[in-house]
Amino acid sequence: MLKQRTITALILTPLAIAAVLLSPTWVFALIVAALFLGAAWEWSALAGLQGSTLRLGFVLASAALFALAWSLHGSVAAACVIALGVGFWLLTLLWLRHFSWAAAPTRENLLLKLLACELAIIPAWLALMQLHAQTPHGPWWTLFAVMLVWAADTGAYFAGVRFGTTKLAPRISPNKTRAGLWGALGLGGAVALVGGWMLGWRDGWLAALLVLALLVVLASVVGDLIESLLKRQANVKDSGALFPGHGGLLDRADSLLAALPVFAAGKALIELLRQS
């Protein structure tokens, strides 16, 4: 499994970095929208939506929401949608605490899970677009946010393998450990300090960026746990089989969906304080 994960990462990582750094924002928006729509397709199956036609209809409705969200790009309304995303992920903490909620395969629970999908993918997509379009260094800040999540995932994996004994949330995701959480925070924090320094942040502002990065790492863990909860309720191991050793698109995007609105909102707040 580690060999498969490593080979897949070595192939996908340069492609992802090139897309972030070399694409104009409108092209990057289309690439990420396609990936998030693929994640929505997988989410709809985990939610219990039956039949390819209905699932395709859900994806097309999501695509229409992406188009609407693009019209908000750069506006106060877009910032409100991103803030709504942060609020949604805070609410999911209650879902993790009461993990049997919405587990029954009812129509009401299906609709709730589909709504949760939209509240996850639309704010995350808008957050990426806001970051990427910023001047100066928009693409680099976008890469910074993505690398925080990559670092958290990597740190969690290796710390969990090496030191993991106490489970983090055994009834939701038995493989996650408290040691893995500390590994995620440690490597994520290191990436934040190095990346923030390279992007010109110093002194107290670099410390503020470090605090934000740790919150982003925690958010990424919440995103991962929510997808694990959905998979457990659907009784499946992975959301898909697109990437060998990594599962489907949602398996790769779950942490990003939660982390991106938190990073975009937090960075905007810090920059407001810097300008005041």
Q: What is the pLDDT of residues 149-200, one digit of tens each?
A: 999 999 999 999 999 889 999 999 988 999 999 999 999 999 999 999 999 9
Range of the domain at 121: 2-275
- Residue 76, pLDDT score: 93
Question: How many domains in the chain?
Answer: 1
**Between residues 240 and 266, the one the model is more confident about:** 266
Residue 258 neighbours by CB under 8 Å, 6+ apart: 89, 92, 120, 124, 219, 220, 222, 223, 224, 226
Q: Which parts of 134-248 fold into alpha helices (H)? A: 138-163, 178-198, 203-234
CA proximity to 111, closest of 61, 70, 64, 63: 61
What is the 8-class DSSP label of residue 174? E
Share of the chain above pLDDT 70, in %: 97
pTM: 0.94
Residue 243 has pLDDT above 90, yes or no: no
Question: What pLDDT, on the 0 to 100 scale, is given for residue 246?
Answer: 57
Answer whether residue 107 shows pLDDT above 80.
yes
86, pLDDT greater than 90: yes
| Phi then psi dihedrals of residue 243, to 5 deg | -115, 115
